Amino acid sequence: MNKKICNTAGYHLWLLPCLAITLSACSNSKPMVTSAEGTGKIVAEVNAKPIFASQLVQQVTDKLRKHKNPPAELIEIARKAALDSVIKEELLYQASQTLLIPDIDEKIEEKFQDLKTRLGSEERFLAYLKRHNQTVETFRVSAKRNVFIGQYLAGKGLAEPHIPEEDIKSFYKNRPFNKAESIRVSQILLTVAKDAKPAEKEEIRRKAEEIRRRIIEGADFAELAKEHSDSKEPGGDLGYVRRNFMPPEFDKVMFSLKENDLSNVFETKLGYHIVKLVDKRSGQAPYEDLRGFFMKYLQQQRRPQMIAAHIEELRSKATIERK
């Protein structure tokens, strides 16, 4: 199968294998190799560690998802972007290998079971792996890499960057809406993958409706949030928030509630939410009430830049060869 066939046959379920062939054919690389990380031809080496063509396929597919007949030039642009992304991940993973994680197998199993639980059945789990061009083995390899990289970033202070107190206070002081109405809310979030099929979305929505029913019947919101929510806040507590901090559809629901009201299940681009309004106040909220929220906001703003800068530092010391 040549590039012309790949470009003109249409964008259907066979795109993954088609792209795998295209990505391999587009590089003057070494012969076919197989390892735990990937298969196919080697498209780059990072400190002599090979990057395989198969490691690029899913990212390229995601980038081309909106294009029914992507031309060769667009595939090549997507391939280069995917390769750069994989190289960055490899730099972080290699740096993380100085860590000792005694319970690494337990952490991998936790990620494995968490995904299974979120998808709801073994059948949907296997379908998810197939859709993402993965096997159980490659998923576990990917999970292991994610655990190492996550702990490495945390150890470097990059997962949750330190925000100086004066920066948080300045941010609080200079908000043009800091005297507007503020509300304290808790949420339960069930995330939905961007490529989830309608049946999967419906199953997650039904789960959210069941959780809401249990709350109405007297179950503790915080406990259910701890058990089911994909949001990281303890007990689902978002703290005090102002208008325009959240997506418009989120604001619309939150600010329509009265104190202790429970929202219906509603959808945003993240997934399905249930929100409870805990408190509502007018005027300027005390700094301590908003400090945690502002700190998280600033962390989210600075985290990507700080990680990117660290990757560039690692890159400067690495030997990278693109094939």
- Indicate the pLDDT class of residue 37, thresholds 50, 70 and 90: low
pLDDT of residue 288: 85
* Ranges of each domain in the chain: 3-96, 99-155, 180-283
Is the predicted pLDDT of residue 181 greater than 50, yes or no? yes
Is the predicted pLDDT of residue 142 greater than 80, yes or no? yes
pLDDT > 70: percent of the chain: 85
pLDDT of residue 165: 96
Cα-based angle 81, 128, 68 (whole degrees, multiple of 5): 50
The least confident of 55-59, 86-90, 169-173, 189-193 is 55-59
| Mean pLDDT (the chain, rounded) | 83
- Indicate the pLDDT class of residue 17, thresholds 50, 70 and 90: very low
pLDDT tens sequence across 86-139: 999 999 999 999 999 999 999 999 988 888 888 888 888 888 888 877 888 888
**Whole-model pTM?**
0.60
pLDDT of residue 283: 66
Fold adopted by 180-283: Chitinase A; domain 3 (3.10.50)
pLDDT of residue 173: 84
pLDDT of residue 253: 92
The least confident of 6-15, 222-231, 238-247, 253-262 is 6-15
Is the predicted pLDDT of residue 85 greater than 90, yes or no? yes
pLDDT of residue 40: 73
Long-range contacts of 73-76 (CB under 8 A, 24+ apart): 75/3, 75/6, 75/7, 75/19, 75/22, 75/26, 76/26
pLDDT of residue 212: 95
Which position has the higher pLDDT, 194 or 305? Answer: 305
φ, ψ of residue 191 in degrees (nearest 5): -70, 155
